[in-house]
Every structure is written in C-alpha cells, then in structure tokens.
Amino acid sequence: MVEYQKSIAGEASISGVGVHTGQETTITFKPAEVDTGIRFIRTDLPDRPVIQVKADNAVLEESLFLTQLSSGPSEIKTVEHVLAACTGLGIDNIILEVSSSEPPICDGSALPFVEAIQKAGIVTQDRPKQFIEVTEPIWLYENGLELAIIPSPRLEITYKIDYDHPAVGIRSASFLINEETFVEKIAPARTFCFLRDVDILRQQGKIKGGSLENAIVIGEHDFLNEELRFQDEIVRHKILDVMGDLALIGKPIRGHIIAVRSGHAFNIRFVQKVLNTLNGKVGRGVPKLPISADEIRRILPHRYPFLLIDRVVDMDYTNMSVKAIKNLSNNEEFFNGHFPQEPIMPGVLLIEAMAQAGGVLLLSLDGNRGKIAYLVGVDNAKVRRKAVPGDQLVIETKILKLRKKAGKVESTVHVDGNLIAEANLFFSLGEDVT
C-alpha cells in the first residue's frame, strides 16, 4: 500500500524556557508543501534564516548532550525532541519557527509537541513518501557503543542502556514504532541527567532552564523525582532521542534499529554512515590502531621535514578525540637553526603538531576522506615549557565543533605527564586538488 506525505493542517505554538539557555522561547508549527522536509526558521534574527533538517547541517556540540544544527552562522540547538515528535507522527513536511536558539524544553519529553501538532491536525498530501530501506545490515561500533539498522518492512527500535548506577543498571526495551505506539509509549518519556553532572554542566553555561519539572534527575542512590511515568522511562527516552536524531536522514525509515549505549554524537555519526553507504560513498574504513607513519601519510598531505607526528595511538570517535606521539631526536631539521647551541622545538611547530593530530581525526571521518584540513585560526595558545631532543611529545586533540566545511578543536602537548603546550585550533575543510 502506498503511503503519502503528511503535513500539519494549521498552526500551533508552544512557549516555555530553553533547557540550556534558560530563556523564554516559542516554537510555532506551520504547514509546508510536499517535498519541503522539516525546516527550522530563527524568527529572532533579522534575516529569518532557514536551517534544513539534514545530516550536512549537524554540529557535533562539545558536550555531546544535545543535537544541534547550523546553516552559515545561524544555529538551533536541542532539536531532538521536536524532531522525534514530527517523525513519530509521520510528518514529512513542516516549518518550525523558533524565537530563540532553542525550542522550549516543556516537560522534558516530546508529548507537548505531539499534542500541539495533533490539535492543529494532520493532513495527507498528494505525493508518495520515499522511505529509507536497506537490503543488508549497516553497523557502527566504537568503544562499546553500537548502532545498526537491519532489513525489516517496518520500523522497530531496540535500545540497551548500561549505567554503573544502582537505580539504573542494565536495561533494554524494544518497540514496533507506529503513531499509536509512539504517542502512548515513547513520546511521554522525559529526558534525564545524573545529579553528579549538574554542577559541571552549569559551569559550562548549560541547563540554565533545567529542573525537576522538565527532567528526571538521578541522585547518588535513586531518582529525585517523586515518580516515573514508566518503569523503564530512561530507556524509552533514549529511543525517543534516536528517533529525533535519525530524522537527519531526511526520509522515514523502514528497518530494525538496534542501539547500545548510543548518544547524540554517535547517532549523528551513524546517520552519516547510513547515508554514505546508501550513496555508495563508504571509504576504506577506519584505520586500525596504532596508526603508523605510513598510514598517517595516506591521511595527511604533509611530508618530510614537515610531518610532525610519528604515530597515532588512540582514536575515540565517541568523544571525537585523538592521541598521537612525536619523538624528538637531535636529527630534527629545525634544530639546525633553532638553536645550534640550545636546540628547542619552535612553538609554532608545536602548534602545527597539534593541528596534524587533529587533521588525522578529521580526515578519517566518513565524508572527509581525501580532503585537506587547512589551519585557519589559533586561539588561547600557550607554550609552558621547552620541547628538546629526547622528549616524547604526547599530543591529545579533541573536536569541539564540526560542520561540513569547518571545525574547532582543543589540543594539548604533554612530556612525561607534564603539560608543555596547549591551544584551540580552527580548521577549514577543502577538497584535495591533486
């Protein structure tokens, strides 16, 4: 049976506070024509920029606690609950006008958005839906996190959590997803956090609008909320998050989604892998650790005497971080002139080594292979101690933000466990012209 695209029949609005900004904000749902997809509009900005819901607009936000989209300089964050409401109700085309940088958190679930859409009404449009379907499994597994889609004629989601906490522990749930099941069993599940993380997040300028009214808070031994809506509400909310993040694929899915301990950044990486696989753009795979100098030369364009990392010993795609080493010897080319009587590695080359470590991570991601990462900015750079012959530099770089054509990382260099240099670096990604 052919299924047709859907939109909202009229307008509906919800106001409240943003969970991270703590600011008053309003989201307005509006009808859209066929094949429009889901689009956010920032009504608080002069040019009312449009941000399309698609994988290319996903931002890897440094906290990894939310899903954020951007288009040019315009951003919209914490979109996962709204997107889950739209996809759970089968909405293909809708305009989401937001009066700030994030929608209201409401009660921490997708239910208020569902109820607003249902009140406005849902209409069937005169264009068939186009589904994402797979003929063979697509998997992503990294450091104990797992996501897969396997062939199925309908959407089913299975999720397993594993928290080292007496109130949570190991739990799993599986649901065949249709509109009725979503509204009754998934949409009401609220977001959650651990009390131990609250102060850290607030020091980072986040969850300014968070409270027991819009989140489940897990204390040292038990939940701080008076009651849960479901015994397995946390697992159900993780399913809700998966549904919201998979909306970035741009089309409804038919398949069995299996997730183990995944979060927003990992979900987005999986979306990218699914799209690359279906488009025939899967690369040669993630290099095996440790990554040797030969493999580094296949990833980076640098060559002697300007290749400044010898080996990559760790690559964490969950936290988007990399650890590389550089062994300094008396034979380094730059020691000949800096300085003959007191060989010291120039500070700018320490920064270059940090940038090259970040480049290995950036250019090993699906969609970035074969590109070149150009260093375009340096911020908060400090050289705290000399790097001299005999030192082994341990370079650790973490991606803070990543867009389609740009990225920001923070990086440090240690010798014998002591911090000797640090910097924030900005990259521009371009095509290899060779």
Catalytic residue list: 264, 338
DSSP 254-275: EEEEEEES--HHHHHHHHHHHH
Contact present, 105 and 27 (Cβ < 8 Å): no
What 3-state DSSP class applies to 33? coil
Pairing of strands 38-42, 50-52: antiparallel
Q: Which residues pair with 195 in a beta bridge?
A: none
What 3-state DSSP class applies to 1? coil
Cis before 31? omega within 30: no
**Encoding tokens for residue 209?**
């609008």
Count of CB atoms within 10 A of residue 67's CB? 28
Radius of gyration over every alpha carbon of the chain, rounded to an integer in angstroms: 24
How would you classify residue 68: left for phi > 0, otherwise alpha for psi between -120 and 50, otherwise beta? beta
Angstrom distance (rounded) from CA 356 to CA 324: 9
Q: At what angle do helices 80-88 and 111-120 cross, to 10 degrees?
A: 50
